[in-house]
């Protein structure tokens, strides 16, 4: 029987293992961690966002510059296929108000348990605490284990080692030099869906009182990007869903220019004229804080940010203050470290792979998941692409090995 080693027991690796097992080959899954799917479980703590319900053309556009490479892979396992797959495990899904798709129980653990049960029933073998160290001279896979180094021979390999965020959960990017030694072209890993530090940091006053507090019902404008939502102040800057949505653009601008300045609309539900009219309304003996709260509902962290970023003369000038409320410049100087990011940009370039995700420099070695050079915002796009690329890589391995394919199990 032909054998395939899957290295990495996250969603991409498990998706590959499922297809491989259905294709009639021996499947061994190796992972450095003590248990399977650690980052997957963490992602499901606040409600596992599996995928998104928006039209496929819009869904595919979320992958930005890598859409031409990712879209054909997604077509082989699209969001609807992912929902049907979950249902096959006995996990019902629903569409949330934002269009995001979640398991009915909102948790990752029940889905993972059912999935592992099915994989083990299909004959998949799991080898935990096996840290991959590359290849031996004879082509064997090298693993560090509690019993010392072990060498494993396999007819094909699927690498699904993740990016470099949340290293404590297994994705530490240690695979990069191992592939570079083989001449594989790899784009530098960088934080994606990440927070940022503001220029000069927050004042002690602002940081001590407002770190962890949300900016609700605000909008960010940066170049062509404009979206309403919310984010959170941190001790040194900002993070959260609205920031993550624009993080790739901000990160690239900082890399190119040394900083990035976006405009923050503190009151997107009001027009600039409405805000100016309310700010300019006579306030008599009331303080500016009382005036802004009563006329515009501005208080708390939003009011504090105006005091933090505006000079005193601007606070006393109705026209300048109103303009700042609608377009407050916020300058960022650094993305937070990659290990804090939700996901990773960069990785194995698609140009180093064939259409089956096999490395051109290493025939028989396939790559999948976040270790590939793509990125996407949160909203189910990350997981969907991990599932899709894992399955494509597995089908490529089956084709290479000439293994019999259970077509009904592999089409979706």
Mean model confidence pLDDT for the chain: 94
| pLDDT for 308 | 96
Q: For the chain, which residues score pLDDT lower than 50?
A: 406-412
Are the C-beta atoms of 172 and 143 separated by less than 8 Å?
Answer: no
Query: What is the pTM assigned to this prediction?
Result: 0.91
Candidates 143, 135, 168, 216; CA nearest to 339 is 168
Q: Which domains does the chain have, with CATH numbers?
A: 3-190+347-410 (3.50.50.60), 196-335 (no CATH)
Looking at residue 405, what is its pLDDT? 54
**Residues 6 or more apart in contact with residue 181 via CB below 8 angstroms:** 134
Q: Measure the CA–CA gap between 122 and 166, rounded to whole angstroms.
A: 30
pLDDT of 381 reads 96
Task: Determine the Cα–Cα distance for residues 191 and 370; give it in Å rounded to an integer.
Answer: 12
Decide if 325 contacts 357 (C-beta within 8 A): no
DSSP type of residue 372: B
DSSP state of 112: H
Beta bridge partners, 237, equal 197
Residue linked to tokens 């770190």:
211
In this predicted structure, what is the pLDDT of residue 408? 36
User: Which 3-state string (H, E, C) describes 316-364?
Assistant: HCHHHHHHHHHCEEEEEEEECCHHHCCEEEEEECHHHECCCCEECCCCC
Contact 236, 188 (CB under 8 A): no
**What pLDDT score does 403 carry?**
76
Q: Are 139 and 350 in contact (CB under 8 A)?
A: no
Percent of the chain, pLDDT > 90? Answer: 91
**Can you tell me whether residue 7 is helix, strand or coil?**
strand
- Three-state DSSP class for residue 147: coil
pLDDT, one tens digit per residue, over 93-113 is 999 988 999 999 888 999 999
Q: Where are the beta strands (DSSP E) in 8-146?
A: 26-30, 51-52, 93-95, 100-103, 125-127, 131-135, 141-145
């Amino acid at each position: 029987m032909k054998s395939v080693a899957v290295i990495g027991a996250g969603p991409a690796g498990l998706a590959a293992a499922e297809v491989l097992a259905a294709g009639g080959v021996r499947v061994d899954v190796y992972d450095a961690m003590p248990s399977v799917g650690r980052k997957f479980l963490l992602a499901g703590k606040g409600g596992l966002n599996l995928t998104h319900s928006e039209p496929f053309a819009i869904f595919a556009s979320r992958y930005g510059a890598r859409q031409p490479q990712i879209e054909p892979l997604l077509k082989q396992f699209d969001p609807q296929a992912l929902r049907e797959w979950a249902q096959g495990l006995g996990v019902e899904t629903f569409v949330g108000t934002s269009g995001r798709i979640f398991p009915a129980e909102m948790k990752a653990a029940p889905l993972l348990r059912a999935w592992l049960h099915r994989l083990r029933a299909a004959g998949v073998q799991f080898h935990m605490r096996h840290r991959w160290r590359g290849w031996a001279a004879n082509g064997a896979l090298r693993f560090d284990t509690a019993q010392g180094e072990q060498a494993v021979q396999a007819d094909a390999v699927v690498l699904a080692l993740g990016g470099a965020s949340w290293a404590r959960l297994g994705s530490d990017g240690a695979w990069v030099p191992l592939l570079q030694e083989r001449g594989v072209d790899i784009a530098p890993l960088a934080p994606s869906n990440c927070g940022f530090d503001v220029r000069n940091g927050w004042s002690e006053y602002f940081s001590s009182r407002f770190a962890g507090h949300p900016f609700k019902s605000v909008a960010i404008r940066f170049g062509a990007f404009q979206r309403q939502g919310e984010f959170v102040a941190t001790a040194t800057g900002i993070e959260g869903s609205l920031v993550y949505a624009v993080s790739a653009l901000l990160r690239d601008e900082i890399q190119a220019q040394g900083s990035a300045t976006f405009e923050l609309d503190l009151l997107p539900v009001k027009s600039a004229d409405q805000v100016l009219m309310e700010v300019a309304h006579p306030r008599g003996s009331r303080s500016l804080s009382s005036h802004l709260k009563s006329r515009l509902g501005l208080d708390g962290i939003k009011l504090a940010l105006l005091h933090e970023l505006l000079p005193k003369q601007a606070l006393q000038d109705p026209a300048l203050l109103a303009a700042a409320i609608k377009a407050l410049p916020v300058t960022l100087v650094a993305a937070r470290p990659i290990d804090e990011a939700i996901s990773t940009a960069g990785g194995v370039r698609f140009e180093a792979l064939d259409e089956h995700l096999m490395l051109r420099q290493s025939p028989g070695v396939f790559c999948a998941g976040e270790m590939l050079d793509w990125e996407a915002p949160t909203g189910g796009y990350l997981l969907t692409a991990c599932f899709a690329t894992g399955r494509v890589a597995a089908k490529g391995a089956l084709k290479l090995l000439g293994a019999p394919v259970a077509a009904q199990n592999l089409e979706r």
